[in-house]
Structure 1
Amino acid sequence: MNDTVSLYLNDVLSTQAGSFESRAAIALFIILSSIVIATIIDFFFKRVLLYYTSKTRLEFDGLIVGILRKPLYLTVLISGIFFSLHYTDFINNYEFIIGGIGLTLLFIIWIIALIRINIIIFDKVLPHLTRKTETQIYDELLPLLKGIANIAIVFLGFLAILNVIWGINVTPLFASAGIAGIAVAFAAQESIAQLFGGISIYFDQPFKKGDRIELESGEIGIVHEVGIRSTRIMNLYNNMIIIPNSIIANSKIINYTSPESSMLVKTNISVAYGSDVEKVKSALYKTIYSIDLVLKEPAPAVRFNEYGDSSLDFGLYMWIKDPSDKIKLIDLVNSRIAEEFKKEGIEIPFPTRTLYIKKENISN
Structure 2
Amino acid sequence: MFKFWLLPVWVEETTVSALILIIALVIAKLINWILEFLEKVWFAGESNLYQKLISSLRKPIYYLVFVLGVAYLFNRWEENYTGIDQRVFKILHQLIYLAQVTIATFFLLKIIHPLLELYSEKVQQRTGSRAGEEFLILARRVIIIIVLIITLVAVLDHFNIDVKGLLAVLGISSLAFALAAQDTLSNMISGFVLMIDKPFRIGDRVKLASGEIGDVYEIGLRSTKFLTLDNSLIIVPNAELGKSKVTNFSYPDPKIGTKIEIEVALDSDVNKIKNVLLELAKGQPLIVEQPPPNAFLTAITDKGMRFSLVYNVASYNDEFKTQEDLRCNIEKKFKQEKIEIALPQAVVHLKGEKDLKKQG
TM range (shorter): 0.7 to 0.9
Query: How far is the alpha carbon of 1:211 from its aligned partner?
Result: 0.6
Match of 1:301 among 294, 306, 313: 294
RMSD: 2.5
Distance 1:279 1:202 in 2: 51
3-state SS of paired residue (1:141): helix
TM-score by length of 2: 0.84
Query: How far is the alpha carbon of 1:213 from its aligned partner?
Result: 0.6
Task: Return 184-193 or 29-38, whichever deviates more.
Answer: 29-38
Quickly say closer, same or farther: Cα 1:204–1:126, change in 2 above 3 A: closer
Distance 1:337 1:300 in 2: 15
Is the 2:214–2:229 contact (alpha carbons within 8 Å) kept by the matching residues of 1? yes
Distance 2:23 2:108 in 1: 23
Task: Return 265-274 or 59-68, whichever deviates more.
Answer: 59-68
Query: How far is the alpha carbon of 1:47 from its aligned partner?
Result: 3.1
2:25 paired residue number: 39
1:201 paired residue number: 194
1:12 paired residue number: none
Letter in 2 for 1:80: Y
Quickly say closer, same or farther: Cα 1:129–1:41, change in 2 above 3 A: farther
Letter in 1 for 2:75: F
Quickly say closer, same or farther: Cα 1:182–1:27, change in 2 above 3 A: farther
Alignment of 1:1-364 (within 5 A): 31-32=17-18, 34-35=20-21, 37-55=23-41, 56=43, 57=46, 58=48, 59-86=51-78, 87-88=80-81, 89-123=83-117, 125-127=118-120, 129-130=122-123, 132-133=125-126, 134-164=128-158, 166-352=159-345
Task: Encode CA deviations 1:153-199: one digit per residue, 9 max, x unaligned.
Answer: 222111111112x1111122111111111111110111011101101
Query: How far is the alpha carbon of 1:34 from its aligned partner?
Result: 3.9
TM-score by length of 1: 0.83
Distance 1:128 1:139 in 2: 8
Query: How far is the alpha carbon of 1:111 from its aligned partner?
Result: 2.3
Is the 1:287–1:337 contact (alpha carbons within 8 Å) kept by the matching residues of 2? yes
Task: Return 192-201 or 61-70, whichever deviates more.
Answer: 61-70
Query: How far is the alpha carbon of 1:29 from its aligned partner?
Result: 8.0
3-state SS of paired residue (1:346): coil
Distance 1:327 1:247 in 2: 30
Is the 1:201–1:249 contact (alpha carbons within 8 Å) kept by the matching residues of 2? yes
User: Equivalent pairs: percent with the same residue?
Assistant: 25
Is the 2:25–2:66 contact (alpha carbons within 8 Å) kept by the matching residues of 1? no
Is the 1:264–1:318 contact (alpha carbons within 8 Å) kept by the matching residues of 2? yes
Q: 5+ unaligned residues in a row in structure 2: which ranges?
A: 1-7, 349-360
3-state SS of paired residue (1:132): helix
Distance 2:262 2:67 in 1: 83
| Number of residues of Structure 1 aligned to a counterpart in Structure 2 | 333
Larger radius of gyration: 1
Is the 1:294–1:319 contact (alpha carbons within 8 Å) kept by the matching residues of 2? yes
3-state SS of paired residue (2:125): coil
Letter in 1 for 2:61: R
3-state SS of paired residue (1:237): coil
Task: Return 320-329 or 106-115, whichever deviates more.
Answer: 106-115
Query: How far is the alpha carbon of 1:305 from its aligned partner?
Result: 1.4
Query: How far is the alpha carbon of 1:127 from its aligned partner?
Result: 4.5
Is the 1:122–1:143 contact (alpha carbons within 8 Å) kept by the matching residues of 2? no
2:357 paired residue number: none
